[in-house]
Structure 1
Amino acid sequence: MANESSVLAHQAGKIAAKLPGGNSLARSVELLVAWGRANSLWPLLYGTSCCAIEMMATGASRHDWARFGVEVARASARQADLIILAGTVVEKMAKNLITLYEQMPAPKYVIAMGSCTISGGPFYYDSYAVVKGADRIVPVDVHIPGCPPRPEALFYGIMQLQEKIKKEGREIPWEIGELVNSPFLDTFTATEKEWATLEEKKDQEMAEAREQFKRENPDYKPPRPIRLKKEKLPSPARRKPTAKGISNWSLLQTLQKKFPEITVHDHPDATPKQVAELGTDYDLDLVIPKELYREVVQYLKDEKELGLEMLLQLTCVDWKEYFDIVVHLLSVEGGHKVFLRCQVEKDEDGAEIETISDLYVGAEWHEREVYDMFGVRFTHHPDMRRIYLKNDFPGHPLCKDFEDPTRVIKRPY
Structure 2
Amino acid sequence: MGVNSGASVLVRQAGELIERAPGGIKLVDAVELLVAWGRANSVWPLVYATSCCAIEMMSTIAARHDLARFGYEVMRASVRQADMIILAGTINEKMAKNLVTLYEQMPAPKYIIAMGSCAISGGPFYYDSYAVVKGGDRLVPVDVYIPGCPPRPEALIQGILQLQEKIKKEGRRNPWKVRETLKVPFEDIFSKAQAEWAAREKQRDEELREAREQFKRENAASPASKPVRVKKEEFPVVPRRKPATQGISNWTLLQMIQEKFPAVEVYGHPGIIPKQVAELGSDYILDLVVPPEQYRAFAEYLKNEQSLGLDMLIQLTCVDWKESFDIVVQLLSCRDGHKLFFRSKAAKQPETGNAEMESISDLYLGAEWHEREVYDFFGVRFRNNQDMRRIFLENDFPGYPLRKDYDDPTRVVKRPY
TM tier, shorter chain? over 0.9
Superposition pairs of residues 235-250 of structure 1, within 5 angstroms: 235-250=237-252
Matched, 1:394 2:402: no
Q: Distance in 1 between matches of 2:136 and 2:84?
A: 14
Q: 2:198 aligns with which of 181, 196, 199?
A: 196
Moved more, 106-115 or 343-352: 343-352
Structure 2 equivalent of residue 144 of structure 1: 146
Structure 2 equivalent of residue 318 of structure 1: 320
Structure 2 equivalent of residue 231 of structure 1: 233
**Is the partner of 1:54 in helix, strand or coil?**
helix
Q: 1:108 aligns with which of 107, 110, 114?
A: 110
| Aligned CA distance change for structure 1 residues 204 and 22 (closer, same or farther; 3 Å) | same
How far is the alpha carbon of 1:25 from its aligned partner? 1.6
- Counterpart residue type for residue 385 of structure 1: R
Structure 1 equivalent of residue 388 of structure 2: 384
**Is the partner of 2:334 in helix, strand or coil?**
coil
Q: Distance in 1 between matches of 2:122 and 2:187?
A: 12
Structure 2 equivalent of residue 46 of structure 1: 48
Q: Distance in 1 between matches of 2:125 and 2:251?
A: 44
**Is the partner of 1:44 in helix, strand or coil?**
coil
Q: Distance in 2 between matches of 1:52 and 1:8?
A: 39
Q: Distance in 1 between matches of 2:224 and 2:82?
A: 63
Q: 2:121 aligns with which of 119, 122, 127?
A: 119
How far is the alpha carbon of 1:8 from its aligned partner? 2.6
Moved more, 224-233 or 45-54: 224-233
Q: 1:262 aligns with which of 261, 264, 270?
A: 264
Query: Residues 128-170 of structure 1, C-alpha deviation per residue, up to 9 Å, x if partnerless?
Result: 1111010010010000111111110100000000011011111
Structure 2 equivalent of residue 351 of structure 1: 355
**Is the partner of 1:57 in helix, strand or coil?**
helix
Structure 1 equivalent of residue 414 of structure 2: 410
| Percent pairwise identity | 67
Q: 1:162 aligns with which of 140, 164, 167?
A: 164
Structure 1 equivalent of residue 329 of structure 2: 327
Structure 2 equivalent of residue 372 of structure 1: 376
Moved more, 111-120 or 8-17: 8-17
Instruction: Report if the CA contact (8 A) 1:6-1:170 is conserved.
Output: no
Moved more, 63-72 or 132-141: 63-72
Q: 1:177 aligns with which of 179, 185, 203?
A: 179
Q: Which structure 1 residue ranges, 5 or more long, are not aligned?
A: none
Structure 1 equivalent of residue 292 of structure 2: 290
Instruction: Report if the CA contact (8 A) 1:310-1:329 is conserved.
Output: yes
Two-structure CA RMSD over aligned residues (Å): 1.1
Q: Distance in 1 between matches of 2:248 and 2:263?
A: 21
How far is the alpha carbon of 1:343 from its aligned partner? 0.9
Moved more, 96-105 or 194-203: 96-105
- Counterpart residue type for residue 308 of structure 1: L
How far is the alpha carbon of 1:289 from its aligned partner? 0.5
How far is the alpha carbon of 1:186 from its aligned partner? 0.6
How far is the alpha carbon of 1:177 from its aligned partner? 1.6
Q: Distance in 2 between matches of 1:190 and 1:2?
A: 45
Q: 1:71 aligns with which of 70, 73, 94?
A: 73
| Aligned CA distance change for structure 1 residues 221 and 352 (closer, same or farther; 3 Å) | farther
Q: Distance in 2 between matches of 1:6 and 1:213?
A: 71
Q: 1:36 aligns with which of 17, 35, 38?
A: 38
How far is the alpha carbon of 1:27 from its aligned partner? 1.2
Q: Distance in 2 between matches of 1:31 and 1:10?
A: 14
Q: Which structure 2 residue ranges, 5 or more long, are not aligned?
A: none
How far is the alpha carbon of 1:204 from its aligned partner? 0.3
**Is the partner of 2:343 in helix, strand or coil?**
strand
How far is the alpha carbon of 1:359 from its aligned partner? 0.5
How many residues are matched? 413
How far is the alpha carbon of 1:368 from its aligned partner? 0.4
How far is the alpha carbon of 1:224 from its aligned partner? 2.1
